[in-house]
């Protein structure tokens, strides 16, 4: 399968890109599987953390544009031709441009683990995740200009907000590649660690989130995303709404009880 969906007893769902022979480039099958898995997770009360990672030496080499434009697998004759003009504009809203907003709107923390290449949509997935940890020697790259076409999957929206206008232009217009250490220094990702420490660093982060107050974490994520386009008064109303909901949870009562008893809270995610 092009995507492995794994789940453990902590409520951690791991979405593992599984095309290592293609540097985990995302084809149409993988894209659909990612969207379905995220849609399933957003309504599953047992899910507390989502991890996105790649099988093998690389996270994601981008979209598999060779497979999409080769005509392979189509019938002979006229049907074997490459996609007709306009197919990208029609397809993207239900594929990459559905996936990236989903990562931001699912009210569950999303952690991205990056080793090797994170190119194109692989870079965008890392940007859209709530927390991305990469190996110091990972490579983040926007290949669009070198391939002769324009960015997609939210690159022109997320990068200026993460790294600033000047650096976004350097990445998108000049095609500069960043190491994992540089991506962390620029603020594109949460942090970077030596390659040998990557698995342990991600596991510690995931364990912290899996044992956190899941509803409050999800609502805080929603608040942060809503703030990007909200006026202050509207965002204050959002905060009041989220506080009302989170204060009615079992985890809120546990947090108050732990504070009163001077002990660490034991959150159940409810």
Kindly report, residue by residue over 152-179, the tens digit of the pLDDT: 999 999 999 999 999 999 999 999 999 9
pLDDT band at 74 (very low <50, low <70, confident <90, very high): very low
pLDDT band at 88 (very low <50, low <70, confident <90, very high): confident
CA distances from 261 to 76, 208, 249, 253 (A): 72, 21, 19, 12
- Give yes or no: residues 29 and 111 share one domain: yes
3-state secondary structure of 239: helix
Among 188, 210, 232, the domain-final residue is 210
Number of domains in the chain: 2
Res 134: pLDDT: 98
Least confident span in 1-15, 70-84, 237-251 = 70-84
Instruction: Give the residue numbers spanning the domain of 254.
Output: 214-261
On whether the pTM is more than 0.75, the answer is yes
Confirm whether 79 is domain-assigned: yes
Confirm whether 266 is domain-assigned: no
Confirm whether 269 is domain-assigned: no
3-state secondary structure of 80: helix
Res 86: pLDDT: 75
Res. 46: pLDDT tops 60: yes
Instruction: Please state whether 148 falls in left (phi above 0), alpha (psi between -120 and 50) or beta.
Output: left
- Give yes or no: residues 236 and 116 share one domain: no
Instruction: Kindly report the CATH number assigned to the domain that includes residue 74.
Output: 3.90.226.10
Sign of CA dihedral 179, 184, 189, 190: positive
- Total count of residues recorded for the chain: 270
- Give yes or no: residues 172 and 223 share one domain: no
- Give yes or no: residues 136 and 251 share one domain: no
């Amino acid at each position: 399968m092009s995507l492995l969906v794994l789940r453990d007893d902590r409520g951690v769902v791991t979405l593992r890109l599984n095309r290592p022979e293609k540097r985990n480039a995302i084809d149409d099958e993988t894209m659909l599987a990612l969207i379905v898995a995220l849609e399933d997770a957003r309504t599953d009360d047992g899910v507390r953390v989502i991890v996105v990672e790649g099988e093998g030496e690389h996270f994601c080499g981008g979209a598999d544009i060779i497979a999409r434009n080769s005509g392979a697998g189509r019938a002979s004759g006229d049907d074997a031709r490459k996609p007709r003009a306009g197919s990208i504009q029609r397809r993207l809203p239900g594929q990459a441009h559905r996936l990236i907003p989903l990562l931001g709107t699912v009210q569950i923390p999303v952690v991205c683990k990056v080793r090797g290449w994170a190119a194109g949509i692989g870079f965008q997935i890392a940007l859209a995740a709530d927390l991305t940890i990469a190996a110091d020697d990972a490579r983040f790259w926007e290949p669009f200009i070198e391939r002769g076409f324009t960015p997609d999957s939210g690159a022109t929206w997320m990068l200026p907000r993460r790294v600033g206008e000047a650096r976004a232009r350097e990445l998108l217009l000049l095609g500069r590649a960043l190491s994992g250490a540089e991506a962390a220094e620029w603020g594109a990702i949460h942090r970077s660690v030596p390659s040998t420490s990557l698995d342990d660093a991600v596991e510690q982060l995931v364990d912290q989130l899996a044992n956190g107050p899941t509803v409050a974490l999800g609502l805080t994520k929603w608040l942060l995303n809503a703030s990007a386009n909200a006026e202050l008064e509207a965002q204050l109303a959002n905060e009041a709404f989220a506080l009302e909901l989170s204060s009615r949870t079992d985890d809120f009562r546990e947090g108050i009880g732990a504070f009163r008893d001077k002990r660490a809270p034991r959150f159940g995610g409810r």
